[in-house]
Structure 1
């Protein structure tokens, strides 16, 4: 089965879903953008669980995913994935970004998640080209087969990303 795909322009911290994906940094300790918003809204429980993960395994590598509870967020889990910083190496960066989506989906599936939300990973301060990032995100989700995940929601923070995703899903 292929999950249905939806696009919503808005704030990922306000969306009701089983899992919210966080565009985390290597440290897992919060930061700016989506990461900061998720940590602020979710509360200290998320940070404490991230610190436990770090103590157990060290940093989260680019393209990999880990999960915590969702604290005060309207979700069961936060899946933290570290997107690549754009460095003009399209092949390597594209593979790492696809890994973010694939590994987050696999982890969500193992947690029994039916609905998962993704931000536009790496397109903020990590400067990944928005069009390319959108194409990778949509292709990866479209190619993902699951008997567990029913719906994937892309939460677009701005008009530009929303337009890109709408075009890609036509």
Structure 2
């Protein structure tokens, strides 16, 4: 849908199934217990099978719930993807607007940092905290797009970020934030 070329990296806005993207890693808009239910998490569970939920359960059993604003890394279970990064964004109404922005920015940064440290060269991100978490679409897409663009200046391995949207309004939000 849209391509933004940066020095040594590319930021793409695409409309479609995040689990079908040709990337090394994808970001799951996760809850603190990494329970794969609906939305992106449900699509990941359907595509990757029960072993992904088992990895999530093992992570939580070993490390405890993932804090809001943080992320966790598991295997993907379906090629070509190697990793799923579970980013826990804030739920709208659970915090004030400044804290919402801070936590969503932190979740995106944490997800990109984990994927970069794992060696991912490409990653797909959804509209974290929008959808079932109730965040304002324009706010969420702006924070995610700007944070992703800024992160590409500091990543050692990631050279492509795909901002994925199932519907046109989300894609347009990403494009507006980057335009």
Report deviation, 1:147: 2.5
Whether 1:115 and 2:122 are equivalent positions in the alignment is yes
Contact 1:13–1:74 at 8 Å: present in 2 too?
A: no
Equivalence for 1:31: 37
Distance 1:51 1:125 in 2: 21
Instruction: Indicate the RMSD between aligned Cα atoms, in angstroms.
Output: 1.3
Alignment deviations for residues 11-55 of structure 1 (CA, whole Å, 9 cap, x no partner) = 111111000100111111211111111111111111111111011
After TM superposition, the structure 1 = structure 2 runs for residues 153-168 of structure 1, keeping only pairs within 5 Å, are 153-168=162-177
Distance 1:49 1:79 in 2: 12
Report deviation, 1:166: 1.6
**Equivalent residue for 1:84, pick from 80, 86, 90:** 90
Using CA pairs under 8 Å that are at least 6 residues apart, name the structure with larger relative contact order, 1 or 2: 1
Any unmatched runs of 5+ in structure 2?
1-6
Q: 3-state SS of the aligned residue for 2:155?
A: coil
Under a length normalisation based on structure 2, what TM-score does the superposition of the two structures give?
0.90
- Of 113-122 and 31-40, deviating more is 31-40
- Using a 3 Å threshold, how does the CA distance of structure 1 residues 41 and 138 change in structure 2: closer, same or farther? same
Distance 1:129 1:120 in 2: 10
Any unmatched runs of 5+ in structure 1?
none
Q: 3-state SS of the aligned residue for 2:40?
A: helix
After TM superposition, the structure 1 = structure 2 runs for residues 125-164 of structure 1, keeping only pairs within 5 Å, are 125-144=132-151, 145-164=154-173
Alignment deviations for residues 95-122 of structure 1 (CA, whole Å, 9 cap, x no partner) = 0000111001110111011001001101
- Runs of 4 or more, structure 1, over 6 Å off, are none
Contact 1:29–1:50 at 8 Å: present in 2 too?
A: yes
